[in-house]
């Protein structure tokens, strides 16, 4: 029997992600909001698993220059990467609304629902996405 503490953090995250993906399947009416987080940035995308297509996506690089300073009304209490993640959620919600999507399934990608992942979800809900 293999012990869990012999695995790295990334391998354990992959195990959690596979476990979640067994249950979560995005459709055209209710796509999957997939989150990938790294030390330098973050990516969120809406995926239709039936067709195997990405409907829209947002990268932290899109938000940093223009919107990080302009959109400080709700993200005043958040700083740095968390504030950028919150604004990413709002931008993703705007793009989803333009595509006609209002309901999504949240796939946290094996990460804990805390910090940047939670901020992205809060921003998406604030922008009008339902999940």
User: Mean pLDDT across the stretch 96-111?
Assistant: 91
What is the number of structural domains in the chain?
Answer: 1
87 Cβ partners below 8 Å, 6+ apart?
63, 67, 68, 71, 75, 123
| pLDDT level of residue 7 (50, 70, 90 thresholds) | confident
Q: What percent of the chain has pLDDT over 70?
A: 80
| Domain at 111, CATH number | 3.30.420.100
Assess whether pLDDT exceeds 70 at residue 123. Answer: yes
At 48, which helix (H) or strand (E)? strand 42-48
Of residues 14 and 72, the one with the higher pLDDT is 14
Tens digit of pLDDT for each residue in 51-70?
A: 889 999 999 998 865 555 55
35 Cβ partners below 8 Å, 6+ apart?
42, 43, 44, 106, 107, 108, 109, 111, 117, 120
Full domain range(s) for residue 25: 4-127
CB 19 within 8 A of CB 92: no
Would you state the pLDDT for residue 130?
Answer: 94
């Amino acid at each position: 029997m293999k012990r869990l503490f012999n695995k790295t953090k990334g391998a354990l995250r992959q195990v959690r992600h596979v476990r979640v993906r067994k249950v979560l399947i995005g459709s055209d009416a209710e796509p999957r909001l997939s989150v990938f987080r790294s030390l330098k940035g973050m990516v969120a995308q809406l995926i239709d698993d039936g067709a195997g297509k990405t409907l829209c996506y947002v990268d932290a690089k899109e938000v940093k220059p223009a919107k990080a300073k302009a959109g400080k009304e709700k993200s005043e209490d958040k700083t740095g990467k968390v504030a950028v993640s919150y604004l990413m959620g709002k931008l993703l919600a705007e793009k989803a609304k333009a595509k006609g999507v209002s309901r999504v399934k949240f796939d946290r990608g094996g990460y804990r629902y805390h910090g940047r992942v939670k901020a992205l979800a809060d921003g998406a809900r604030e922008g009008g996405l339902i999940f």
